[in-house]
Amino acid sequence: MGVPTEIKPDEGRVAITPDGVRELHGHGVSVLVQAGAGLGASIPDAEFAAVGAEVVATAEEVWERAGLICKVKEPQESELAFLRPDLVLFTYLHLAAYPGVADALLAAGTTGIAYETVQTEGGALPLLAPMSEVAGRMSVQVGAHFLERHNGGRGVLLGGAPGVRPASVVVLGAGNVGWNAAWMAAGLEAEVDLLDKSIDRLRYVDQIQMGRVTTLASNRGQVERVVTQADLVIGAVLVAGGKAPIVVDEDLVKAMKPGAVVVDIAIDQGGCIATSHETSHHDPVFEQHGVIHYAVGNMPGAVPHTSTYALTNVTLPYLSELASLGVAAAVGRDDALALGVNTVGGAIANATVAEALGKEHRPLAELLGAG
């Protein structure tokens, strides 16, 4: 297995920790790690070498020698040349948002397995969950920061002050991202409205948050009412493997308070705010219609040490299966992992991804059988 250094701008995470390397060695899997791969996450090469990883100098060597590449972000332009038919790539792919990467995987015949579409029978997304939790918690931090007047915001403190009304925070989506955002905002004593279409999900949140968050059924009228009164709107809508739906259209953004802040966490899947476009950690915000927009595409990359350990905790069991058994056997015994397979042999194996890209879908069993 190979772990190259991440080269996407502002990405400091690495796809495995030293504990992960040690665990894989216990399964008889050798691990190549590119020199410096862990430095952004405050993990020096010596820690990888101490548990048996072979630290190699270049990305080329990692990609060429390894049959299984484990990454954090989708392959970047300079990495696409490394794709090949006998390679398995295990990473966040977000192909609905990056169709060019999908085309490259299909052209190369690479088996692409996406963290974000590994899905359990109950609908949970175990490899997305920890990064969703990090992004949800971060969204409140960054929202509070940009609400400060010198950062372009309305000059509102989330928790208010004695005798002063706290900020109004609206969270769109009550999944892992949204619930963590709502929880953090409530912890800072903001007034929080959490919207979702699933009444069962809202019922669950309502039972555990003890009245600190107002849960609301999401529909057009409800969204319009709360968004226009909000100081901070957090977009946390997700369709596994697909493009995020637009929940806040441009006219609604125009109707928001001047200096309000939007944090569009769904930007990795195209965004759920009509006026959003992807930004970076070095240039995270822009203003449109008087509203500050934060739409960084890899929010957990800002805290790469925490994010790396949280990610490896959940990817390692699947990685062990893939490295020890091979793709066909691993997905044969794990239905959740099977849903993670996006591309095989030049075809798309995940129906939701195929629909999002407007391409043909072929059943995974057929593709693996053909391989």
CA 165 to chain CA centroid, nearest Å: 33
- What order of strands is seen across the sheet that includes strand 2-3? 54-56, 32-34, 2-3, 68-70, 88-91, 111-114, 341-344, 347-348
Q: Which of 10, 94, 193, 334 is an active site residue?
A: 94
What is the distance between the alpha carbons of residues 356 and 277, in angstroms, rounded to a whole number?
A: 19
Structural contact between residues 171 and 193, judged by C-beta atoms closer than 8 angstroms = yes
Q: Which two tokens stand for residue 245?
A: 């739906």
**Alpha-carbon span 206 to 67, nearest angstrom:** 47
Question: For residues 254 and 285, is the Cβ–Cβ distance under 8 A?
Answer: no
Query: Quick one: which of 73, 119, 75 has its CA closest to 92?
Result: 73
Q: What does the block give as tokens for 169?
A: 């925070």
- 264 in active site: no
3-state helix, strand, coil in the chain (%, to 5): 45, 15, 40
Helices (H) and strands (E) in the chain, counts: 14, 15
Rounded distance between C-alpha atoms, residue 236 and residue 267, angstroms: 9
Q: Cα(139)–Cα(183) distance, rounded to whole angstroms? A: 11
193 is catalytic: no
Rounded to the nearest 10 degrees, the angle between the axes of helix 18-26 and helix 304-325 is 10
Q: In terms of Cα–Cα distance, which of 361, 197, 336 is closest to 272?
A: 197
Rounded to whole angstroms, the maximal C-alpha distance in the chain is 69
Provide the token pair at 371. Answer: 């391989």
User: Which is catalytic among the residues 10, 196, 268, 334?
Assistant: 268
Helix (H) or strand (E) holding 46: helix 45-50
Beta strands in 35-125 (DSSP E): 54-56, 68-70, 88-91, 111-114
First to last CA, the chain: 21
| Residues designated catalytic | 94, 268
